[in-house]
């Protein structure tokens, strides 16, 4: 099949129907032709006072630019010269070209062609404004999400700090309450029990002591989990041992003899399975907290 011949007018019509703004220059940078899209954009944005660009030097205009976008213009000129000198086959560049009508961005492509008439460079400018605006919107959305995520992380950290502080405050309050009860309440109950009370009063006092022991003994749950059954007084002794009290101090607080304290200590070691005498009872009780 032979080559299909196209008339110059048909080629021109095809050239003018392209949406990209196209200009063709020679190896000196002189404009040889522009399409309708190029002329229309130039007229709408008043890039020049004339409509016939033929003969104007594209490279000179770029290299002598001094207003906004001058740096982009010089980069474009350098890239096109590389194409003319055959340092590269094509040059690609995207740049802003904002006008009074609004923001605009273009994607430029310069391609080298060579025939019997010499070197030609076809330069096309595609409007990529919608793509850039979409990218800006996406970037703004991502930054907003990152800010919200950062705020959530900071709030989460602050919440954890508050929870830890609340737990610490709660533990300290409970410890003060327990210490107060064991130091200033239970000993007086024991002293009352040693007095001459009626049977009914002794029963009520015993009930009160049992209830207090159920509240103040911090080891109750741990010992229960370990399936260790202790008497109320053994729980009292265990709690005081854990605090670091000596046998003499425990005896005075609970209003019992030191021999009784030693008896309870031995029972505690036995029930807790501490057969090795090298194992410290207080250290073991602390490890259960």
Phi then psi dihedrals of residue 140, to 5 deg: -65, -40
Alpha carbon distance 226, 190 (integer Å): 28
pLDDT of the residue at 242 = 85
Backbone CA torsion sign across 176, 179, 180, 185: positive
Alpha carbon distance 180, 186 (integer Å): 9
Residue 112 DSSP SS3: strand
Burial class (CB in 10 A: 0-12, 13-18, 19+), 42: middle
Are 219 and 238 in contact, with CB atoms under 8 Å apart? yes
pLDDT tens digits, 213-270: 766 665 555 555 555 667 778 878 888 888 888 999 888 888 889 999 999 999 888 8
Q: Which of 78-82, 123-127, 155-159 has the highest mean pLDDT?
A: 78-82
- Token pair 């944005």 is at which residue? 45
- Token pair 């009370």 is at which residue? 197
Q: How many other CB atoms are found less than 10 A from the CB of residue 236?
A: 25
Chain mean pLDDT for the chain = 82
Q: Which of 100-104, 105-109, 202-206 has the lowest mean pLDDT?
A: 100-104
CATH 3.40.50.10470 for the 8-127 domain, yes or no: no
Q: Which of the pair, 92 or 180, is modelled with greater confidence?
A: 92
pLDDT tens digits, 162-184: 888 887 777 677 667 766 777 77
Alpha carbon distance 124, 108 (integer Å): 6
- Region 101-110: mean pLDDT is 87
Mind spelling out the 3-state secondary structure of 198-214?
Answer: CHHHHHHHHHHHHHHHH
Are 144 and 138 in contact, with CB atoms under 8 Å apart? no
- Cα–Cα–Cα angle for 263, 265, 267, nearest 5°? 70
How far CA 13 is from CA of 21, 75, 133, in Å, comes to: 14, 32, 32
What share of the chain has pLDDT > 90, as a percent? 23
- Examine the pLDDT at 102 and tell me if it is beyond 70: yes
* pTM as predicted: 0.48
Q: 82: pLDDT confidence band, cut at 50, 70 and 90?
A: very high
Q: Which of 114-118, 171-175, 211-215, 276-280 has the highest mean pLDDT?
A: 114-118
Q: Which of the pair, 4 or 83, is modelled with greater confidence?
A: 83
Tokens of 74: 């010089």
Domain ranges of the chain: 8-127, 174-287
- Examine the pLDDT at 80 and tell me if it is beyond 90: yes
pLDDT tens digits, 29-59: 999 999 888 888 877 765 555 557 888 899 9
Are 100 and 72 in contact, with CB atoms under 8 Å apart? no
- Region 75-91: mean pLDDT is 93
Q: Which of 50-54, 75-79, 128-132 has the lowest mean pLDDT?
A: 50-54
Q: 277: pLDDT confidence band, cut at 50, 70 and 90?
A: confident
Tokens of 143: 């930054």
Q: Considering only CA atoms, which of 26, 25, 23 is closest in space to residue 47?
A: 23
pLDDT of the residue at 76 = 93
Tokens of 274: 């501490």
Q: How many other CB atoms are found less than 10 A from the CB of residue 31?
A: 20
Pairing label, strands 118-127, 90-96: unpaired
How far CA 140 is from CA of 96, 137, 160, in Å, comes to: 18, 5, 30
């Amino acid at each position: 099949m032979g080559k299909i011949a196209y008339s110059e007018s048909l080629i021109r019509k095809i050239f003018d129907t392209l949406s990209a703004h196209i200009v063709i220059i020679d190896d000196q940078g002189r404009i040889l032709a522009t399409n309708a899209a190029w002329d229309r954009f130039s007229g709408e944005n008043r890039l020049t006072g004339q409509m016939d660009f033929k003969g104007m030097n594209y490279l000179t205009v770029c290299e002598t630019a001094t207003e906004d976008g001058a740096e982009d213009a010089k980069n474009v000129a350098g890239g096109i010269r590389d194409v003319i000198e055959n340092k590269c086959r094509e040059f690609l560049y995207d740049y802003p070209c904002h006008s009074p009508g609004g923001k605009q961005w273009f994607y430029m492509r310069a391609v080298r062609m060579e025939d019997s008439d010499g070197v030609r460079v076809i330069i096309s400018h595609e409007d990529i404004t919608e793509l850039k605006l979409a990218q800006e919107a996406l970037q703004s959305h991502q930054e907003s999400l990152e800010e919200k995520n950062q705020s959530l992380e900071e709030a989460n950290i602050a919440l954890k700090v508050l929870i830890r502080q609340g737990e610490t405050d709660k533990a300290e309050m409970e410890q003060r309450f327990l210490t107060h009860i064991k130091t200033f309440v239970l000993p007086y109950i024991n002293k009352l029990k040693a007095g001459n009370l009626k049977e009914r009063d002794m029963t009520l006092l015993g009930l009160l002591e049992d209830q207090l022991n159920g509240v103040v003994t911090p080891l109750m749950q741990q010992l229960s989990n370990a399936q260790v059954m202790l008497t109320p007084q053994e729980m009292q002794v265990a709690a005081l041992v854990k605090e670091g009290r000596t046998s003499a101090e425990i005896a005075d607080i609970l209003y019992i003899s030191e021999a009784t304290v030693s008896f309870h200590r031995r029972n505690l070691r036995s029930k807790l399975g501490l057969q090795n005498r090298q194992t410290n009872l207080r250290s073991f009780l602390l490890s259960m907290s």
